[in-house]
Structures are given as C-alpha cells and as structure tokens.
Amino acid sequence: MCGIIGYCGPRPAAEILVEGLKRLEYRGYDSAGICVRSGGALRVHKRKGKIKDLRAALPDRVDGELGIGHTRWATHGEVNDVNAHPHTDATGRIAIVHNGIIENYAALREKLAEEGYRFVSETDSEVIAHLLASLYDGDLERAVKQAVSLLKGTYGIVAMHADEPDRLVGARNGSPLVLGIGDEEMFLASDVTAIVAHTKQVVYLEDGEVVSITSADYHTTDLRDRPVDKKIEFISWELEEIEKEGYAHFMEKEILEQPESIRRAIQGRLDMEYATGHLGGLNMSRQELLNVERVKIIAAGTSFYAGLVGAYLLESVARIPATAELASELRYRNPVVERNTVYFAVSQSGETADTLYAMRELQRKGARVLGICNVVGSTIPRESDGGVYIHSGPEIAVASTKAFTSQLTAFYLFALMMARMRHMGIESGLSFIHDLEGVPALVSEVLSRRDALVPLARTYAGAGNFLFLGRGINYPVALEGALKLKEISYIHAEGYSAAEIKHGPIALINETTPSLFLVTDDGLRDKVISNMKEVKARAGKVIAIAVDGDDEVDRIADDTFFIPKTHELMYPFLMVVPLQLFAYYSAIELGRNVDQPRNLAKSVTVE
C-alpha cells in the first residue's frame, strides 16, 4: 500500500503522475516512484522519503505519455529505494504498482526463482511483475487475468508493458481502484483525490474485475473475460476542497470546517411536520424499522468511538439495545447474527479493511448491514444493504476530525427517527431537533475560544503520559481525545471512564501525568467532580473541559476550558472539538508532522 495513479493520454505523463501522488500524500507513505514509457522503453524513477525527494531526483525532462506512479507504506521489506514501487521484471519491459498484501508471495517467489527469475527487492509486490513476465504472450490484459488468478490476498494493481505503448491494465481485489474518464485521456487511481483535477467522471471497480484502458477507450471484464457494464459516476466536490486554502495544516482546516460539515450531515434529513429524522438511504420500510430489536455497530479507530456514542444514544433516546465493537475482533469471532438486529458498518473512507471484511462476514450469515461513510462510491456503501453518507467533504489529514462529528450526526438522526416511531412524543421530537440544529452554532462558539487552548498545549506538551476521563455519553469522547493526542503528538495517552480511575489508573497519578476531565452539567457531574478531587489529593495535575459558569470545577482544576451550555445529549459535539484542538496545538508545539503522523495511513486497507 498506499497510493496508485496511472495515466494514458496525450500529455506528458510524469507531471500528471507526480501531481497525483502529491494529492495522495495525505494517505501516509514512506517512498514514492513513477514509471514512464519513453522511446520504447520503461524509465523508472523512485526514492525513499517524500514526493519532494522523488521530484528532486527526476531528470529535467521526462518524456512519455503513458505511466504509473505509487506512494508506498512499507509492509514487506525496509524503507529504501529498491523496495519502492514501481517494480519491474528482470528485462525491464513490464512494470507494476500494487496496493495490498499478497499472502502466497513466498511460494510464488520460490517457484519463479527456480525458473530463473531474479528478485532484487524484499517486497511481495515484485512477485507480480515476474509472474506477469512468465505469462506474457503479447497481451497484457490476458497476462494480468492469468496472474491475479494465482494470487491470494488483497490487491489493487496497475500494470504496463513497453511493447504496448497506449495501454494500462488494472485489477482489484480488496484494495480500491477507480477509473477516471477524461477528454481523450484516461486515469487509474486508488483514490479519486489523485485525479479530480483532471476529470469528475469516474468508474469504481469491484473485486474480481479487470479494466484495460487506452487514451481513447476502456473496457471492464471479470476474470473469466465476461464483459462487465459499469456505471459512470460524477464526483460532486470541487478541487478547492482538497486544498489548504491558507491554513497551516489540513487538520486545522478540517477542525474549523465542522460547523458546516455538521450542517451538511443534517441538511434535508429532518421532517418538521412529524418531528423526526428522514434517512431514505437505509432501504428499510417503516415496518422493518419497527421490527428492529437490537442495533450493533462495527468500526475501527475514531469511527468506533463514534459508534460507542451512537450505541449510548440509541439506548437512552430510542430505548433499543445497542452495542459497538471493533470490526477487527468481530470478523474472527464467528459472530452470532441475531434475529431482528440491524448492523452499522462505520468508516470515513468506506475502504477500512477490517470493517469491510466484518461486514461481509455478517452478510454471509444473513445480517442486514447498513453503512455510515463519507466517501461516495467507496466499497462499504456499494456493498452494504443501505446506509447514510455523512457528506463531510474530503478529509485529508490522517487524524480524523470532522468525519467524527458527522458520524455522530448520522447516529443522532437515526436515534431520533427510531424514537419517534416508538415512544417519543412530538414535542420531545421537536425539542430534540431544536437542540441538534443548534449544534453547529455552538461548535462555532467553541472554535471562537480556541486561542485559550494554545497556552494549555504549551504547558502540557512536555508530559510523557496523559489520562482522558469522562462519564456516560462523554466517555467515548475521552477515548477519542486520547487517540487524537497519541496520533499526532506521540504523547502516550489513555482514555477511561472517570469511574474506572480507582480501578487501576489512579496508580499512574503523579505531578507529571496530567488528567483531562470532561465535566458536563448532567446527572454524573458530581461523581466526576469527586474523581477530580481524588486526582488532586494525589498531587495530580487536572485539566477540565467544563460548561460555562461552572465555578466549582474551575476552582478544583489547575486549568479549565469552558464550552457553551446545551442539552446533555449534545455535549459530545462540543466536548470533542477542544480535544481535537488540544492535540493539534500540542503536536505543533512538539514540531510533529500534523497531517502525516509517523506510521499511520489515512485508509487502512490491509490487516
């Protein structure tokens, strides 16, 4: 893994490839390379490090109108120039780029080595280039189909051959690949971000499909050579949405976009006449929804924490038993699919491997799985039984922020809809809607106070460990706050229920381990204050995120950041924003790479 781009057309390929790779930087990578057909030969240029290192290594002029490019996140073999993509066969006539994991690469490598093929890298991907060379008989498309039929694992592959001057062939199994259709030019990419500057017409490949493109045409087939009719889809967002627009970092931009992204997630989904939510994409009748007896949410990382909030909300508002669990654990647990249970698969990218595979396992067992995703046309919404797009717009920073609050919004709308179909009266429904519609303005108010978090970050960025503590619906927010700090500042942080502090974590309390408490004006406030006092009694530093006017909390805490008052169920929206900002400012204070933290990728498409 991690990023792929390919180009067929009349323009110089190298420039388009490097530009496309630059737009894929947000996915995380440790090396990059391109291959361009020039003068009847394939010219490969690749370097460990960043795109700027690759650009610096390129000749002043790179001719050729056909090429492929790749950003690599190491999985097999160390980070160096040799292990970077593209990979070629021994003759240099075939080149490939590959995302995914080839599980049987060792057996294939041994067999090819016995046949005389010489390997130069430590990667699983190089096997594909030599396998193609062993199968090639003048038809690259046929060779690709034969090769992938021998592969076990996941792959998004684009291949080229020096003897086929106007052709690229792509294949997909478990790793995204999209075709871009331009004016007398064609593109292949792992993400539409790489090609949106050139075209908005795209075709999403499904697993087991192969696409062959020239500058003027394309065709898609399955592995048995049967034609597959594909729908051309339109990218709805603009190029400007993936630019920084004057912000220092994409993460800063995306945190500040949350009032608008939450509004977009709500827009058109409220029915004021009946005081309910409207989510037509669920593809469930009213009777089917009434028959739902349990909701289970599967996700990973930040999406999992949004799911925990969603589960709490569904139980407290809609009175439906609900749980959230990690997709990576569920998929290997031989899960029991229960009658009248609806499942949600939650993923910003819609390509998260663990969540996708867990969804497929549940569907094999007869479950109805709905998706909550941001990326239109991604795999989870295409394969799910229905669901909700959150419409956050492109999220470029590796650490997710605006997608989290938009995922929350989807759960709030679903909980409202389910509650109104059961026990919630119309006045309560209207009140819930009023509170939800007020969230964007309150988030804007929190953002207007963000300068107060800068000195806090400066004070505490030197801490080696951090505790984040919350109760009730804000407990998952504490988990998310700890994750954000870990992701981008590299400070070790753990999230806990504040009630659990005396069950072990209190042993960590000292003057160098700060504890950040989330304190709202709900029924658990006094208990959280008691936990704060326990920390203070042990010489621990206390930071509090509290509600305007809570002087008692302010007197106890060493530092306090205040948020506006709202309904107790709406506080997760307001609580998470200062935690995002605190992590962001701490990372800046420590000189971290905010948008591309080490060892992380935006979309985790392999195990």
Cβ count within 10 A of residue 244: 12
Can 2 be counted among the known catalytic residues? yes
**Quick one: pLDDT band at residue 607, thresholds 50, 70, 90?**
low
Q: Which of 22, 484, 541, 602 is flagged as catalytic?
A: 602
Q: Cα Rg for the chain, rounded, in angstroms? A: 25
Report how far residue 555's alpha carbon sits from residue 459's, in angstroms, rounded to the nearest whole number: 19
For the chain, domains (ranges, CATH) are 2-235 (3.60.20.10), 244-437 (3.40.50.10490), 445-607 (3.40.50.10490)
Backbone angles phi, psi at 590, to 5 degrees: -90, 0
Angle, alpha carbons 487-489-491 (nearest 5°): 90
Cβ count within 10 A of residue 579: 26
Check residue 511 and give its pLDDT: 87
Segment 430-462, tens digit of pLDDT:
999 999 999 999 999 999 999 999 999 999 999
Average pLDDT over residues 475-492: 97
Ramachandran bin of 539, using left for φ above 0, alpha for ψ from -120 to 50, beta for the remaining angles: left
Segment 167-203, tens digit of pLDDT:
999 999 988 899 999 999 999 999 888 999 999 999 9
Segment 101-147, tens digit of pLDDT:
899 999 999 999 999 999 999 999 999 999 999 999 999 999 999 99
β-strand pairing of 186-189 with 2-8: antiparallel
b or e along 153-188 (b: 16 or more beta carbons within 10 Å of the residue's beta carbon)?
Answer: bbbbbbbbbbebeebbbbbbbbbbbbbbbbeebbbb
Contact 529, 554 (CB under 8 A): no
With a pLDDT cut of 70, the percent of the chain lying above it is: 98
User: Which helix (H) or strand (E) element contains residue 126?
Assistant: helix 126-135
Give Cα 62 to chain centroid, integer Å: 34
**Quick one: pLDDT band at residue 600, thresholds 50, 70, 90?**
confident
Q: What is the mean pLDDT of the chain?
A: 93
Give Cα 282 to chain centroid, integer Å: 22
Average pLDDT over residues 5-10: 96
Residues 6+ apart with CB under 8 A from 234: 200, 201, 202
What does each C-alpha distance from 576 to 228, 390, 566 come to in angstroms?
A: 45, 18, 14
Check residue 467 and give its pLDDT: 96
Report how far residue 582's alpha carbon sits from residue 549's, in angstroms, rounded to the nearest whole number: 21
Running DSSP on this structure, what letter comes out for residue 171?
A: E
**Quick one: pLDDT band at residue 606, thresholds 50, 70, 90?**
low
Check residue 60 and give its pLDDT: 85
Residue from 395, 587, 386, 350 nearest 491 by CA: 587
Check residue 48 and give its pLDDT: 92
pTM for this predicted structure? 0.84
Segment 343-367, tens digit of pLDDT:
999 999 898 889 999 999 999 999 9
Give Cα 489 to chain centroid, integer Å: 19
Residues 6+ apart with CB under 8 A from 242: 23, 193, 196, 394, 396
Q: Kindly state the greatest CA–CA separation across the chain.
A: 79
Report how far residue 480's alpha carbon sits from residue 580's, in angstroms, rounded to the nearest whole number: 9
Residues 6+ apart with CB under 8 A from 329: none
Would the pLDDT of 320 be above 60? yes
Which residue reads 């306090």 in tokens? Answer: 560
Which residue reads 């990372």 in tokens? Answer: 587
Backbone angles phi, psi at 80, to 5 degrees: -155, 175
Segment 17-43, tens digit of pLDDT:
999 999 888 767 889 999 999 989 999
Which residue reads 């819609």 in tokens? Answer: 350
Segment 199-232, tens digit of pLDDT:
999 999 999 999 999 999 999 999 999 999 999 9
Check residue 603 and give its pLDDT: 67
| Secondary structure percentages of the chain, helix, strand, coil, to 5 | 40, 25, 40
β-strand pairing of 233-234 with 294-299: unpaired
Average pLDDT over residues 496-516: 90
Cβ count within 10 A of residue 268: 9
Annotate 40-96 with DSSP letters as a single string.
TEEEEEEEES-HHHHHHHS-S----SEEEEEEE--SSS-SSTTTSSPEE-TTSSEEE
Report how far residue 309's alpha carbon sits from residue 473's, in angstroms, rounded to the nearest whole number: 6
Q: Which of 2, 8, 35, 373 is flagged as catalytic?
A: 2
Total length of the chain: 607
Segment 131-141, tens digit of pLDDT:
999 999 999 99
Can 8 be counted among the known catalytic residues? no
Cβ count within 10 A of residue 304: 22
Tokens representing 331 are 């998929």
Check residue 239 and give its pLDDT: 67
Helix (H, G, I), strand (E, B) or coil at 146: helix
Would the pLDDT of 241 be above 60? yes
Report how far residue 367's alpha carbon sits from residue 361's, in angstroms, rounded to the nearest whole number: 9
Contact 527, 396 (CB under 8 A): no
